[in-house]
């Protein structure tokens, strides 16, 4: 699970005028992560994002997005450490890409995508749940031809926090 404190490179799931004044998002991301002994991680997840959108009138509406997201991280020495559960802790750099399944466009259109690069730090809560803080930059694009109604893409900063639940599939060692 994660929540962006700010994500300037992930558009809201709304394309009609007027555009919302602001919004908030929560991501639930079940998936798998493979980690290597030399501090690399590759993750793939299905992402469901719940949005609360606000207009200048004070009206709130709810929206959601479904997506597939893939990410890669490289934990960097000297503060990286692999726990007995096989989870890497410490500072890292990485990137992610996302393809929308539904949200801004009709289901299955795959028209909206994002790409982010970031640096972050991960620690363990209660010795088993990874928590993290990431900062970075991203780009987004919408390949549909509605530029008069909706921007076709953009860039922006990223700040997000998250917590995960971990189930290991095999024994690990350093």
State the pLDDT confidence band at 108, using cuts at 50, 70 and 90: low
Q: Which long-range contacts (CB under 8 A, 24 or more apart) does 126-129 make?
A: 127/83, 128/85, 128/166, 129/163, 129/164, 129/165, 129/166
Note the pLDDT tens digit of each residue in 40-57: 999 999 999 998 988 888
pLDDT value for 145: 55
Note the pLDDT tens digit of each residue in 5-20: 988 888 877 777 777 8
Considering only CA atoms, which of 2, 9, 116 is closest in space to residue 49?
2
State the pLDDT confidence band at 151, using cuts at 50, 70 and 90: low
Average pLDDT estimate for 72-92: 87
Average pLDDT estimate for 120-133: 87
pLDDT value for 174: 41
pLDDT value for 69: 95
- H/E/C letters for each residue in 99-111? EEEECCCCCCCCC
pLDDT value for 124: 86
């Amino acid at each position: 699970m994660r929540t962006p404190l700010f994500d300037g490179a992930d558009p809201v799931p709304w394309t009609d005028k007027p555009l919302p004044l602001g919004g908030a998002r929560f991501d639930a991301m079940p998936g798998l992560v493979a980690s290597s002994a030399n501090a690399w991680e590759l993750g793939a997840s299905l992402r469901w994002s719940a949005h609360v959108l606000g207009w200048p009138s004070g009206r709130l509406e709810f929206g959601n997005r479904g997506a597939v997201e893939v990410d890669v991280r490289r934990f960097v020495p000297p503060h990286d450490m692999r726990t007995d559960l096989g989870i890497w802790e410490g500072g890292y750099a990485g990137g992610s890409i996302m393809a929308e399944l539904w949200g801004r466009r009709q289901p299955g259109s795959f028209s909206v995508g994002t790409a982010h690069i970031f640096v972050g730090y991960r620690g363990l809560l209660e010795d088993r749940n990874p928590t993290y803080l990431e900062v970075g930059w991203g780009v987004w694009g919408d390949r549909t031809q509605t530029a008069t109604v909706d921007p076709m893409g953009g860039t922006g900063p990223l700040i997000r926090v998250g917590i995960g639940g971990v189930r290991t599939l095999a024994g690990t060692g350093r």
